[in-house]
Amino acid sequence: MASEDIDGPQGRDSGPQGISRAVLERAETLENELAEARVALRRYEKGRAKATAGEIEAARQGVMNQLSYRFGNELQKALRNPLRLVILPISLVRQWRDFRKSKTSGQPDETVESNRHDSAEASVSDMISHDVAREMSVEALAGIGVKKLRSLLRDFTGLGEVDIQVRLAEALWLREKSVHTGIALRLKRGQLDELDPEWLPLLPERPLQDSDPNTVLHLFKTIYPLESTGGAVRNWSIVTEQRKAELRPVVAVSPARLPQNITEANGGRDGRFSVEREGVPIHFCHLATLDRKRIPHDVMVTFETNILGDLCERERVSLIHAASGFRGYENALKGLALARSHNLPFVYEVRSFHEHTWTAHFDGIEDTEMTQRRMAQENRCMKAADAVVTISEAMAKQLEQRGIERDRIFIVPNSVERHFLEDVDPDSVEVFKREYGLSGKTVIGYISNISRREGHEVLCEAMAQLVGDRPDVHLLLVGDGGHRESIEARVDELGITDSVTFTGQIDHSRITAAYAAIDLFVVPRLPDYASDYVTPMKPIEAMAMRRPIIMSDRPVSRELLGEEERGLYFKTGDAGDLARVIGGALADVDGSARRVAAARQWVEETRTWADNVALYEPVYAFARDRHDANGSAK
C-alpha cells in the first residue's frame, strides 16, 4: 500500500481544525455533564435523608420482622458454632415467641433491633429482588450496599435491561463518587443515547454546492486486506468493480485495530489519515492512543462523524452509502447525519441482523429490552434511508415484515471475484496439503470464523462417527475465533485429534489452495438470525471452485443450493444425519459431479462481482430520485 498523508498542503486547514473542533466540543460536553452531575449529587445529598432513609428503614424493618429472617439468623449462628446446634430448637422457639409478640403489639422486637442493626443493611440488600430494584428510584438504590449494586448491575447487563443499568450506574456513582464509577455511568448513558431513535450525531447544515456525481462515500467497518472475512472481501470487491465502471468510490473505515505497518507509516497519530490502493482512497478514523472501551458510544460516533464531515467536502461526495457496522446501525447513524448535513441521498446496506449480537445467548434474546431498542434503531435508520440494500431474498422478506416498503429494498447478493473461477496452480495446492498433512487423505473441510453459530462442534461429532469406517477421512478447519479452544477441547474428548487439523487464520492469497485441498465442503451452521437469513460467502466460493457442498437446512440455504440440485442438506444440529449425508456424498461420485457442475454454472451466471456490482446502479438512481423528490434526506 502506498501511503498518502491527506493532511498535506491542500488540506491542513480542514483536517486538524475539524479534529480540534471535535475535541473542544467534547470538552464542553464533559464540562456540562460534570455540572449536571454536581447538581444531581447535591440533590442526592439533600434528599437522601428524607427520601431514601424512609424507604430503607421500611425495608429493613420488613425484613427483620420476617420469621424466615429470624430463623435463618439463628441457623447461621448454629452453623458457625456447632455447639449452638444443641440449643437450636430452643432458639427457634424463642424467635417464634418474639415474632408472635411483635405481631400482636405491632412493634419490632427491641432485642432484634439493637443486636442486628449492623447486619440489617446487608440483609436488606440481599432481599432486594430484580422486580423490587426495577421499581426503585436512583436515590433509593443508592441507599443499598455497593456489593449488591454491582451484582444487580451485572445481572441487568446480562438481561439486556438498559434503563435500570443507567439508574444502577448512577447509584454507584452517588455512593462512591470515583472516576471509575463516573466513567461507567457515562458509558451507560452513552449507550442509551445512541439507542434513542431520535438521536443523531450533531453536525451543522453545510449543503455541498460542488459535488462530483460519480463520487460515492462508502462507510465500512473494515475492508480487505485489513481482514479476510467475507464482509471485508465484499467491501473491497464492490469498490474495485465500481472503479472499473468509472465511478469514484471513496472509503471510510473505523476499524477496532490497524496493522502496525499502516500506523507506523502515518506516524501512529490519531485522527484521520489515508492510504490509496489500486486507485481507491481509503480513509481511516484511527484513535490509537484512546481506549474505545472507555469512550461512550454516542461520543465516539459523533467524533467520527465530524471527521467524516470534512471528508465529504474535500472529496466532493454526491451520495452516502453506509454498510452494517459492528453494532449494525452505528454506520447508518453516521451516514444519516452526513446526508442530512450536506443534503445528500443516503443508501443503507443491511448485511446481517446485529441486534442480537450483544450477548452470546440465543433463547429469548428477541424479547429483551436491549434487542428491542437495537431493532428500533435499525428500523429507524432503514426507514430514513432513500434506499435499502440487503444480500438475500430471505433478508428482504424480513425487512419488509419490519415495515420497510418493498420498492425501497434492493438485493445485491454475496458474490465471488473472478479468480475463484480460474484454475488453481496444482503446485500451490500440493504445498498446502503437505504443510498440513493432508496428502493422500479424503478431506472434509470448512473455511469460516470459528464461532458458536457456525456449528463446528456438530461437524466434529459427525467426523467421530466417520473415522471408524473411513480412516482415510480427515477434517480441515480453516479460520480462527473465540470458540476455537472449546472446539479443540471437544475434538480431544471425541478422540479424533489425529484426524482433525486447525490451520488458524490464513492469508487470503492462499484461500484458493485451501479450497482446492478440500474434497467435500460442509457448512454446519446452527439456528441463528444470521444463519437463517444471511447468505454466507464461503459456500459460494466453494461452488465456484467446483467443491461438492453440504449445508445445514437453514432457510437461507435454499437460495444457494435450491432443491439439492447444487448441493445436499442435513438436519441442522444432527451429527448422525450429517455423517450419513457425508458418507452418501462420498459414495455417490456421479451425483456429486452433477451437482458440482450445476453449482459452478449457477455461480458463473448469477454470483460474480463483475456482474453484480452493476446492481448498485439502479439503487443509486432510485436514491437520488427519491432524495430529489423529498427535497432533502429524511
Q: According to the model, what pLDDT value does residue 630 have?
A: 86
Task: Report d(CA 69, CA 63) in Å as an integer.
Answer: 7
Q: Is the pLDDT of residue 30 over 90?
A: no
Dihedral-angle region of residue 86 (phi above 0 means left; psi in -120 to 50 means alpha; beta otherwise): alpha
Q: Is the pLDDT of residue 114 over 70?
A: no
More confident call, 410 vs 357: 410
> Residue 14: which pLDDT band, with cuts at 50, 70 and 90?
very low
Task: Report d(CA 444, CA 118) in Å as an integer.
Answer: 65
Task: Report d(CA 445, CA 457) in Å as an integer.
Answer: 13
Are 118 and 75 contacting, i.e. CB atoms less than 8 angstroms apart? no
Q: Is the pLDDT of residue 15 over 80?
A: no
Task: Report d(CA 535, CA 222) in Å as an integer.
Answer: 19
Q: Is the pLDDT of residue 198 over 60?
A: yes
Task: Report d(CA 92, CA 123) in Å as an integer.
Answer: 19
More confident call, 223 vs 259: 223
* Total Cβ atoms within 10 A of residue 533: 23
Buried b (16+ CB within 10 A) or exposed e, 176-206: eeeeebbbbbbbbbbbbbbbeeebbbebeee
* Total Cβ atoms within 10 A of residue 125: 20
Task: Report d(CA 128, CA 151) in Å as an integer.
Answer: 11
Question: Rounded to whole angstroms, what are the CA distances from 553 to 487, 509, 562?
Answer: 22, 31, 11
Q: According to the model, what pLDDT value does residue 224 have?
A: 86
Q: If DSSP codes are grouped into helix, strand and coil, which group holds residue 411? A: strand
Q: According to the model, what pLDDT value does residue 22 have?
A: 55
Question: Rounded to whole angstroms, what are the CA distances from 191 to 185, 186, 314, 379?
Answer: 10, 9, 31, 17
- Dihedral of CA atoms 566, 445, 531, 493 in degrees, nearest 10, equals 140
Q: According to the model, what pLDDT value does residue 111 have?
A: 45
Do the bridges between strand 568-570 and strand 549-552 make them parallel or antiparallel, or are there none, so unpaired? parallel
Q: According to the model, what pLDDT value does residue 80 have?
A: 59
Q: According to the model, what pLDDT value does residue 523 have?
A: 97
Q: According to the model, what pLDDT value does residue 120 have?
A: 47
Q: Is the pLDDT of residue 415 over 90?
A: yes
Tell which CATH architecture fits domain 207-411.
Answer: 3-Layer(aba) Sandwich (3.40)
> Residue 69: which pLDDT band, with cuts at 50, 70 and 90?
low
Residue 84 is given by DSSP the state G
Task: Report d(CA 584, CA 577) in Å as an integer.
Answer: 11
Lowest mean pLDDT segment, chosen from 124-133, 218-227, 342-351: 124-133
Cell numbers at residue 32, please?
456540562
Cell numbers at residue 319, please?
451520495
Q: According to the model, what pLDDT value does residue 87 have?
A: 61
Task: Report d(CA 582, CA 136) in Å as an integer.
Answer: 57
More confident call, 267 vs 134: 134
Lowest mean pLDDT segment, chosen from 50-59, 285-294, 357-366: 50-59
Compute the average pLDDT of residues 450-461.
94
User: CA Rg, the chain, in Å?
Assistant: 30
Domain range list for the chain: 23-65+108-194, 207-411, 418-607
Buried b (16+ CB within 10 A) or exposed e, 338-366: bbbbbbbbbbbbbbbbbbbbbeeeeeebe
Task: Report d(CA 295, CA 354) in Å as an integer.
Answer: 21
More confident call, 597 vs 75: 597
* Sheet order of strands, 280-286 included: 2-4, 271-277, 280-286, 248-253, 215-220, 319-323, 346-349, 387-390, 409-411
pLDDT, the chain, mean: 84
Q: According to the model, what pLDDT value does residue 621 have?
A: 97
Q: Is the pLDDT of residue 105 over 70?
A: no
Q: Is the pLDDT of residue 634 over 50?
A: no
Tell which CATH architecture fits domain 418-607.
Answer: 3-Layer(aba) Sandwich (3.40)
**Residues 254-309 pLDDT 10s:** 866 676 677 666 666 666 778 889 999 998 876 666 677 788 999 989 988 998 99
Q: Is the pLDDT of residue 9 over 50?
A: no
> Residue 374: which pLDDT band, with cuts at 50, 70 and 90?
very high
| End-to-end alpha carbon distance in the chain | 38
Compute the average pLDDT of residues 105-113.
48
Compute the average pLDDT of residues 421-427.
94
Q: If DSSP codes are grouped into helix, strand and coil, which group holds residue 358? A: coil
Q: According to the model, what pLDDT value does residue 4 have?
A: 37
Are 392 and 413 contacting, i.e. CB atoms less than 8 angstroms apart? yes
Q: According to the model, what pLDDT value does residue 31 have?
A: 54
Q: According to the model, what pLDDT value does residue 50 have?
A: 54
Lowest mean pLDDT segment, chosen from 65-74, 313-322, 471-480: 65-74
Are 306 and 204 contacting, i.e. CB atoms less than 8 angstroms apart? no
